[in-house]
A and B are shown apart, each in its own frame.
Chain A
Amino acid sequence: MDPEEVEFLGEKEIITIVPNFNYGIINLISGDIGPFRAGLPVKVPMWVAVNLKQQQTCKIQQPDWMDIDFLEELRETEKNTQTFTKMPNEHYMALTKSILNCASDDLIRANEIRTLVKDIWDIRMSKLRSSVDLLIKETASYAAVDNLTMMEINSVRPLLPHALDQIYRMKKLQGPRIGSNSTAGQSSRMSYSFRS
């Protein structure tokens, strides 16, 4: 999948903006937004926020999780656990990118946030690479990938599915397994760091 398409889905996430104009409810096909009152926070999809921000008609409110203390703690947890931590938002990467792109002037300590989110992403990607490696060595037939976000899943595509596909073909050629040979197959069911 094109990363732009993952971002496209991420832009549907709801965030809070503070408009500087007054306007009634807008009935979008995908749901109503508004009413807008100057100075009062209102929730809208990210793509609406970006659009209004580009016209300088709103400020974007920093999402709760875009907080230095919170992100530092998250980074530590991610570093110290084997499994993947649940992220505060399914599209944390796309949201960070969009908000920093169009509204870094609305954020407190924007640069530190950029670095922290990047750190968390890097730690997770390195974990992901070793998990993929393990999974292939274990010749797994399936695995749990809980807590991985869409962008992360997309980054191992098509490599991981293709690799497992080849393994499956080889197993098929091997024929039914018998007796003591079953250990490899058994352990493949556990997908260590993928499990939450």
Chain B
Amino acid sequence: MALRYSNCRNVWRKALELIKELDRCTGTLPPYNSDLVSEVNNEIKHLIESNLEDARLDEENRSSGDVSLLPTIICRHSAIARNFRCLLAYHYNRLRCIRTMRWEFGGILPPDIKENLSQLELEWFSKYSNSLAQYMRSVGEEGINLTVNLKPPKSVHIEVRCLVDYGKYEMNNGTIVFLKKNTRHFLPRLECEELIRQGVFEHVVS
């Protein structure tokens, strides 16, 4: 019994660490922590095995009126449930974050972000990306891009400052503008949205 108790002391810590890790990085996605996830998984497995064993013993003891194992079983079950909940929260919130990235970056993730995703997450992202694209294509006659027009427009043109040396950029109407670092431009808002998101432009608010 003594050994079992000491094991229990560390239960919950690891799972909680997963949650804290996500919480510390709001807005960004930390690398998938597969080591910690598998430690929590092992802890869950271990707890389940112990409970299965004790449940067998408990059944035998019952005939003699002994229910002393019951509290331990219940306690372990709570620990399983809690670890389980933490794992769910960790993975679910990562998906929420990955989902938002689809809206921000489109169907192709920047490599530095991509390497923080697990294999399963990459698969999920690609499925989500496709379903969203399929949905957007099927709205109305011609489809609609929902990842733009995020804010109510105030005017047709906006003033932007170029943050990088981008080079030539061809606008929808065929005009070519030369985007040099620190130059200011007065351009159609819709064309700018995408470039603002990519960090090429910064909106100059007057």
Q: How far is the CA of A72 from the CA of B151 in the complex (A)?
A: 35
A168 interfacial contact with B, CB 8 Å: no
Contacts of B155 in A (CB 8 A): 50-51, 54
Which of A4-12, A79-87, A112-120, A128-136 is near enough to bind chain B? A4-12
Contacts of A50 in B (CB 8 A): 154-155
B152 interfacial contact with A, CB 8 Å: yes
Q: Majority SS of interface residues in chain B?
A: loop
Q: In chain A, residues 1-52, which have Cβ atoms closer than 8 Å to a Cβ of chain B?
A: 2, 4-5, 7-8, 50-51
Q: How far is the CA of A5 from the CA of B151 in the complex (A)?
A: 8
- B residues lining the A interface (CB < 8 Å): 151-152, 154-156
- Taking the nearest CB of chain B, how far is it from the CB of A29, in angstroms? 15
Q: Which of B151, B154, B155 has the most CB of A within 10 A?
A: B154
Please name the residue on chain B nearest to A8 by beta carbon: B152
- Taking the nearest CB of chain B, how far is it from the CB of A17, in angstroms? 16
Q: How far is the CA of A5 from the CA of B152 in the complex (A)?
A: 6
Q: How far is the CA of A31 from the CA of B156 in the complex (A)?
A: 19
- Taking the nearest CB of chain B, how far is it from the CB of A3, in angstroms? 10
Contacts of A2 in B (CB 8 A): 151
Q: How far is the CA of A2 from the CA of B151 in the complex (A)?
A: 9
Contacts of B152 in A (CB 8 A): 4-5, 7-8
- Taking the nearest CB of chain A, how far is it from the CB of B151, in angstroms? 6
Q: How far is the CA of A51 from the CA of B154 in the complex (A)?
A: 8
Q: How far is the CA of A5 from the CA of B149 in the complex (A)?
A: 12
Q: How far is the CA of A54 from the CA of B206 in the complex (A)?
A: 13
Q: How far is the CA of A49 from the CA of B169 in the complex (A)?
A: 32
Q: How far is the CA of A4 from the CA of B154 in the complex (A)?
A: 9
- Taking the nearest CB of chain A, how far is it from the CB of B206, in angstroms? 9
